[in-house]
Chains A and B, each alone.
Chain A
Amino acid sequence: MILITGGTGFLGAHLLFKLLSENQAVRAIYRNEKKLKNVKRIFSYYTKNADTLFDSIEWVKADLNDIPSLMEAFKSITHVYHCAAFVSFEPDKFNSLQKINIEGTANIVNLCLSEHIKKLCYVSSIAAIGKPKQGVITTEEIDWNPEADNSVYAITKYGAELEVWRGAQEGLHTIIINPGVIIGPGIWKHGSGSIFKTVHQGTNYYTSGLVPLVAVHDVVNSMTQLMNSALINERFIIVAENWSYEQFIKSIAHALNVKPPGKEAKKWLLLLGWRLDWLTNKLFGKRRKLTETTCKYFNF
């Protein structure tokens, strides 16, 4: 039986659909009942039998940091896809990011070792790949640079990768994937889906820079192929095309039949933006949307 963490998320739900379509026996971890409906809705895009398919999943309520509940989820499991993660770029969330992404992954790796799991697929991110000099194509071989302006999210995804590599050293067969921005339907409040929502609501600005993009079906197909292959202890960047952010936002606007943004957000505007965002956070406790570190990723 296959275990999936983060099954109610965007990628996890698409992976569930893929595995169930191949008649695989699947157990999925969930934490919040309300999010189970996401899975059914995503299934409904691709089949008329969404309910039947959903009912064939063995759901287990568990938390990455609650080892007894994870032990229950690992019973009779042979393969694990670890998709669950906490995504935030707010420096204030660093402790939570560490707890969920690094410690949570360490727990998954430890259970994979103790339960003699045949293979683990860990969903990392391109954020965890090192940053080469400008103009150099990024591959899996680029070393992580701890001195670089890494976001708190990137630091914890890299830390989680180290836990997976530690598992590999201890005998676990692993695959790490590093996808770019994953495009696909289903979750409109978070992730790339929220970009569609924002563009539909209307936005005046785009920014400079490149966005590495890949379709969700290509990611899950790659994951299952890698898990079914003889490849072990390797990591793979999954990026189909590198687009400019301008092209990306304008293409979405065109597909949604709304007016595309016409102005590029300049350096001064972004620098002003993150400071105002910080102030709003401190004064009113509003969630931060733009940080100094994220601004530095632009082509200044």
Chain B
Amino acid sequence: MENEENSPRQLANTLISKTTYSSTKLKKHLKTQFTPITDSIVITAAIFLKDEVI
């Protein structure tokens, strides 16, 4: 049931887009504030280093 087949290149290549996506509809209904992606990358990278490197 889980994702077994997607290599990094496959995932990135396929979801790479020529257009931008908008969450305007979601924000209109939920008034949600998304986490800045830079922050998500920094946090995920820190956990990756702890899990896989140290």
Contact = CB atoms under 8 A, between A and B. Distances in A.
Nearest to A255: B45
- If over half of A's interface residues share one DSSP class (helix, strand or loop), that class is named, otherwise mixed; here it is mixed
A259 interface: no
- If over half of B's interface residues share one DSSP class (helix, strand or loop), that class is named, otherwise mixed; here it is helix
Contacts of B11: 87, 181, 191-192, 194-195
Contacts of A154: 14
A195 B21 contact: no
Contacts of A131: 18-19
A256 B45 contact: yes
Interface residues of A, number: 98
Given A151-B14, A297-B14, A100 B22 contact: no
Contacts of A153: 14
Interface residues of B, number: 48
Contacts of A299: 18
A215 B53 CA distance: 23
Given A84-B2, A252-B45, A256-B49, A237 B16 contact: no
Interface of A: 5-6, 8-10, 29-32, 35, 41, 45, 63-64, 84-90, 93, 100, 104, 125-127, 129, 131-132, 134-140, 151, 153-154, 180-181, 183-186, 188, 190-198, 200, 207, 209-218, 221-222, 225-226, 229, 231, 234, 236-243, 245, 251-252, 255-256, 287-291, 294-295, 297-299
